[in-house]
Structure formats: structure tokens, C-alpha cells
Structure 1
Amino acid sequence: MNTAASFSERYAWVRLSLELNLSPTLARLLLANFGLPHQIYEQSVSTLSRYVPTQLAAQLRASPSDELEQRIQQALQWAQAPDQHLLCLADSHYPKALFNLHDPPLLLYAKGDLTQLNYPALAIVGARSATNTGNENAYHFARFLTSQGWCIISGLASGIDTAAHQGALAAKKPHSTVAVLGTGMDLVYPARNRELAHQIAAQGLLLSEYPLGTRGLPHHFLQRNRLVAALSKGVLVVEAALKSGSLTTARLATEIGREVFAIPGSIHSPLHKGCHQLIRNGAKLVESAEHILEEMGQTLPLALAQTENPSAKRQSPKLDQLSPEQQQVLSVINYDGMSPDQIQHHCKLSTAQVGAALVQLELLDLITQQQDGRYLRS
């Protein structure tokens, strides 16, 4: 929290954010009528009762309970660390982009480099159970966009979120990535991303609206998505099923005037149906990170695009360098995915020949095996 704020002001902001039975909507109503939190606590019960139930008014006028006092002191003590911050609505570091929301958080917990919030940002979101291709796309798009001056926003979830954060960090720029959590700042979900969270805190920024000790509940992650959308100038959906939370992020982004982008895929893949629905509803179809830069008004020199853009063609072995069996197997595999039995049926080779060819083609990055065992062209 801004060091210019007095201790009593900081205390009041934290208390207001932690008050039992005080919804964010009621808190904002009180702020609108009385000013800063410490001014709310100076009001009489009768005055407060004009806006909130009498029992809640009496709670606000009384001294905090022992439990509430303990939570307030825990938050204030947490913020004593140099890289840990409490950002209230009135703080100069509070992200102004969140004022586009009808319900901006009263208080944000931040860990890491606050200057990350000063860079133009793009959100990259998608499926937790993403395909290898989806994860690679998220990683390379994030790395490339970070190299072009963008900060990558995502939610630290498994799959696409993880790959996007990793790609942004790999660009090794002063700006990198912001992870918006659906838990308290002292918890990491999923637990396997604990090390990634430490890397982001050291090189980027962790952000949460939830008090310390808050465990991840399903509705927390849906709430978190609105912050991901608001912090960004645009949202890229890499892979998403029809009921994916990423579609919620895209919808919220549209509602507040952000651009929405989607990467298309196989018409047979459940993980692409959400992206296709977004495209039908007006999202920009993108096949390269350059498409995003063009839409956002940023041009890229052609030479740079060809060398760094993740969609630029990869150097592949010449087909005449493959064995006849490998060429035959590769010729029947499409971009929708085929099982080994389907491949064998089409190319009329033995099981052993098909298996050997598949292994070599995968090592050459010409094909990719999906989690369901199908193979598709890279």
C-alpha cells in the first residue's frame, strides 16, 4: 500500500475488505457516501443504518472482533516485506484498468514487481487439459509477444495458463507476466505450480483479491477471470471446450471493450469447439502472433516476424530424407488426429513398421501424439 497513507488509513482499508457479511457492493456504497474507510468507521449506527442492516451498522461501529483483528494484523504484517504490497482502491499503484469493472476489488494483494502493471498487457488463457500443440502455441505466442513489449496476463492454472507464463518468463525482459490467483497470496493452486509462482514473484507479479489463507473454490476462479480480462488490452484463447472458463473470460473482455482473439483447430476436437464458437461470435481468428500485433496497432518488421514469430515455418527435414515407410505414414496423418490403427489401415504397413515410423516422425517434430493416443501433423 502507498507509504504515503497513514497507518490508520491502511488499517481501515484492510478491515473494510475483511468485514464479515459486508459485501463488496455494500462496501462501495458506503465509500460512495462517506469517502474513505476510516470515515465510514466514524459514522454513527443510525447514519450507517440508512445504507446497511442495523446489525451490520453496529458491527462497523464497534471494535473489531478478536478474529477480525488477527486477520487485519496478519495482512498488515505480510505487507511489511519489500516485495509484498496491499493496493487499495485509492492507492496510486492500483491498476486503473480495473475501474472498467462494475465491481473492482477494494483491496489487492500483490507480490513481486508492481511496474509490470505499467506495460501494455495481453491475456492468454485456455484449457487446463490442453494438448501438447496447445501448450506449445501458448508458450511461443507468449514468448514472442513479450519480446515485442507486451506483458502476459494469465491465471496460473494448469495447461495453457502455465505455458503462457513460462513463455513470457523465457523472453527474459524487464516486463514478463502477471499471474492472477484464485486463492490467497500465501497459497498456490495447483500445488505443482508452486515453483512457477516463485519465479513469477521474482521476475513478474502475483496478484490476488482474496485474503491470506483463502483456499481455491470454483467461484473464486470465475471471479478471478474478470480481473484477467480487465487488466489486458486483449484476450487470446488458445484451446477451450464449450463450457470452459476461458469463454467466460472472453465474454467479460468483450463486455468491457477488450479485443478477443482465438486460435482455430480441428472441427473434431472438443478443445477447439470453444474457440470456434468465439470466432463465430466475432472473435478475431489468429494464426500467428503477428496477427495480434496488427490488430492491436503494432507493426512488425518482416525479417523479425520470420525469425521470431511462433507461426513462422519451422525447418523440417526434407521428405526425401525420410524412409519410404516414414513418408507413407506421414502422408496419411492429418491435422485432426488419427489412431495407430487408422494409420495402419490407410498405409497398409505392419504394426511394427507403423510403430517404428511414428517414433521417428515424432522425434523429428513432424507429428505430435495427443493424450488420447492419436497422432496429428505438427
Structure 2
Amino acid sequence: MNTREAIIALNMLPKIGPVRVRRMLDQFGSAEKILTADTNSLMRVDGIGSETAEIIRDWENRIDLSQELAEVERRGLSIVTQEDAEYPEALKLSYDPPLVLYVWGSILEIDRHALAIVGSRKTSHYGTQTARQFAFQLASSGMTIVSGLARGIDSHAHEGAIAAKNGRTIAVIGSGLGQIYPPENMALAERIADGRGAVVSEFPLNTSPSKKTFPMRNRIVAAWSQAVVVVECPEWSGARITANLAGEMGKTIYAVPGQIDRPTSAGCNALIREGATLVTGGHDILDDISTLPLREASHPQETPTVSLPSLTGAEQKIFAALENESLLMDDILTATGLPLPEINATLLKLEIMGLVKQMGGSRFARK
């Protein structure tokens, strides 16, 4: 057994965790020696009691390492350890960095320029559009968007990033990669992994989501990102936990203000009262973070700005039709001659780009 396999084995064992493993590594010097240590030696490590020592001593009967590695290979996944170049430097500097990361897709050097966008699972139209627009604008400017693949704001943040030209996004999930959660986001996960970023988990392949795994996921989102943007969330939620964790790590917290009578805005408004930076668009964040190079900038030292791609085809036709007035959907159909499904898809993209807004009913106008 080599060091890599020993670390993966330790990560698969229950009731161990990265903090205890780090203490044992300080004591024994290598992961292989931990797995072969006797009970008394293990119990001399701070935090290792008889139960934990017994789990480690009996590791070969508790997990099937060979099967796990074979399944990872069969699925076309990879496992990244802290010794690998792909392992995010920001995670290494956190208090309890994951021992390993199971990766579906690819983690690139450019993903070190990362911002988290998080929020409520139950979201309003306002929250949905805001998350998409922020993610699109920030991803267009070279930032990698990190979120949790959850329903609501997380999903829309990933969608907005994917809509940007060359946009990248990292989805950190609270389950194993063999148990994508929520299951209805499998198609979104596939799109992310197919050249637009990665779906990442610290948990063994077949780990089911639980109340314990989601907070663990949140700490990775907070640690990976240079700052956290909270779009919409109630007073107490996973998004607030992520923001609080990021604050404890010294990261900047941005919050989008919401209506004072909406429960889903209470968390953001509270964060602003507590000192989070109020933001109303991606440009506010880019102005604040002025040291990040553009992903495709010709002059890397320039301050990043939001650069929207040129409109082509259906985008150009619809945008031109809305030049002088707002139009109903029927009017857009008549003016452009485009099929309804294409108009719906294009209008959504133009909304994400921040160029078009939906008014009452099915009426649209330039923003």
C-alpha cells in the first residue's frame, strides 16, 4: 500500500475526520504507519480513544479500498490528495482541510480565483434572477463560481456561470459522487463536469446526504472561495452558516439586500446589519476585488471589469426588437419570426446577461 491509498483508506473510515488524521500524521509520520499502528500507540494521540483506535486497527474489515478505487476508475473520476497539484491551495490553509477530494470533471489553476454564491433552497423570482446575473457577470470576468449544487440559489448560480463564455463553476456536494443530491440536479452536474468545472466531494463514493454532511460541505465552500456572496436566505440557514464560517476565516462577506417583509430576505438583511458589504451587481464585487486577473485578459494586471459577449443570432434579433419599447411575447414572435421555444431560451439568457428584464405578465423590455 502506498501513501495515497492509505490516505484514501483513512478518509473512508467512520468517526475519524481530517483533524484527527492530522494529529496522527504528526505522531506517526505517514498514513501507512497509522494503519499498522497498535492500539496503545494510537490511543496516545490526542483525541483518539479506544473506539477510534479499534476502527483503525480493524480498517480492512470495515472498508473495501480496492472496490472503491476500481469504481472511481470505472466512473471516470479522480481522487485528489493534499499532495497533488490540483488540490486548492486555499483549502490547504484552512483549519480542517479535507483529506481527499473526489472529483468529477477538472480542477484547474484558474479556479483559485473563486467566489462562492449561496442562498436559500426556496427562492423567489428576484433571488433566482439575481443569482444568475451575479454568477454570469462574475464568471464572465474570470472568476470561478463555487456553490453547493442545492436546489434554489445554488443551482441558479451554477447555471449563470455555465451561461458565461468560458465560465467555470465548482459544485461542492454534501454526499458521495455516487449519490448526487438532489437527484434532479444530475443533468446540471453533468454539464458542469463536461468541461465547465467540477463536481467535488470529500466523502466516499456511496455516502448518502445527511444533517452531518451538509455543514461539512459548507466549510469547503467557504474555505475554497476568496469571498462569499449571499443572495437570498432566511434568518437561519445553511447559507448563513457558510457566511459565518467564511467570516471566521477572514473572508469578505457580500449580501444582496431584499424586501423587508420577505422571510427569504431576512438573512441577507441581517448580514448587512452585522457588517456584510451590500452589493447590487457583479460590478460592486469586481470593484472591491481589484487584484484578480481576467481569465483571458490581454493585460493581466488590469482591474477586472464585467465584459459581456457580443450578441449573435436570436439574441441580436430579440434585443433589436426591444430597442424602443417593451413588448409582449406575441409581439416578439411577430417581430423576430423565431420559434417560441428559442425565444423563451434566449430571453432567459438575455435576463442572465442583465440586458433584458421581464415586466408584468409576459412583457419584456431592455434593462
Relative to the length of structure 1, the TM-score reads 0.75
The 8 Å contact of residues 108 and 207 in structure 1, kept in 2 or not, is answered as yes
- The answer to whether the 8 Å contact 1:189/1:216 transfers is yes
Q: Deviations over 1:187-244 (max 9, x none)?
A: 1111111100111111210110111111111231122111111111111111011012
> 1:251: how far off?
0.6
| Structural mapping, 1:123-138, within 5 Å | 123-138=116-131
Report the identity percentage. Answer: 36
Count of matched residue positions in the alignment of Structure 1 and Structure 2: 314
* Aligned residue number for residue 336 of structure 1: none
Contact 1:152/1:176, CA 8 A, preserved across alignment = yes
Deviation string, structure 1 residues 235-289 (Cα, Å, up to 9, x no partner): 1111011012111111111111111101112111111111111011111101111
Unpaired runs of 5+ residues, structure 1, are 1-6, 309-314, 323-358, 367-377
Helix, strand or coil for the counterpart of 2:108? Answer: helix
Counterpart secondary structure, 1:361: coil
- 1:257 paired residue number: 250
Following TM superposition, by how much is the alpha carbon of 1:24 offset from its aligned partner in structure 2, in angstroms? 3.5
Matched, 1:121 2:129: no
| 1:36-78 CA-partner distances (Å, limit 9, x unpaired) | 201223434432231233464455345611x41x2x1232113
CA distance in 2, matches of 1:360, 1:239: 21
Match in the other structure for 2:213: 220
Please say if residues 119 and 149 of structure 1, whose CA atoms lie closer than 8 Å, have aligned partners that are also in contact.
no
What code does the residue aligned with 1:34 have? Answer: F
In 1, Cα distance between equivalents of 2:15 and 2:304: 51
Change (3 A) 1:283 1:107: same
Equivalent residue in structure 1 for 2:56, among 36, 39, 60: 60
Change (3 A) 1:10 1:190: same
Aligned to 2:80, the other structure's residue is in SS state strand
Q: Which one of 194, 198, 218 corresponds to residue 190 of structure 2?
A: 198
Deviation track 1:78-100 (CA, whole Å, cap 9, x = no partner) reads 33258511122333322221133
Q: For the Cα contact (< 8 Å) 1:21–1:56, is it kept in 2? A: yes
Secondary structure of the structure 1 residue equivalent to 2:162: helix
Residues 360 and 13 of structure 1: is their aligned pair in 2 closer, same or farther, counting only changes over 3 Å?
closer
State the alpha-carbon separation in 2 of the partners of residues 181 and 209 from structure 1: 8
> Equivalents in 2 of 1:179, 1:360: separation in Å?
32
User: How far apart, in 2, do the equivalents of 1:239 and 1:360 lie?
Assistant: 21
CA distance in 2, matches of 1:141, 1:218: 29
Provide the TM-score with structure 2 as the length reference. Answer: 0.78
SS of residue in 2 equivalent to 1:41: helix
Q: Could you tell me how far apart the structure 1 residues matched to 2:305 and 2:42 are?
A: 60
Pick aligned residue for 2:163 from 164, 170, 173: 170
Among 195, 200, 222, the alignment partner of 1:207 is 200
Query: d(CA) in 1 for partners of 2:143 and 2:212?
Result: 29
**In the alignment, which residue of structure 1 is the partner of 2:19?**
25
Return closer, same or farther for 1:264/1:21 CA change in 2, 3 Å cut-off: closer
Q: Which has the larger Rg?
A: 1
* Cα distance, 1:119 vs structure 2: 3.7
CA distance in 2 between counterparts of 1:119 and 1:23 reads: 24
Contact 1:109 1:185 in 2 (8 A): yes
Aligned-pair Cα RMSD in Å: 2.8
Instruction: Letter of the 1:135 partner, please give it.
Output: T
User: Residue 95 of structure 1 is aligned with which of 75, 88, 95?
Assistant: 88
Q: Which residue of 1 aligns with 2:363?
A: 364
Q: Is the 8 A contact 2:256 2:268 kept in 1?
A: yes
Instruction: Write the distance in 1 (CA, Å) between the matches of 2:363 and 2:31.
Output: 62
> Within 5 A, what are the aligned runs for 1:96-111?
96-111=89-104
Q: Which of 268, 274, 280 in structure 1 is aligned with 2:267?
A: 274
Per-residue deviation, 1:317:
6.2
**Aligned runs of 1:242-321 on 2, under 5 Å?**
242-297=235-290, 299-300=303-304, 304=307, 318=325
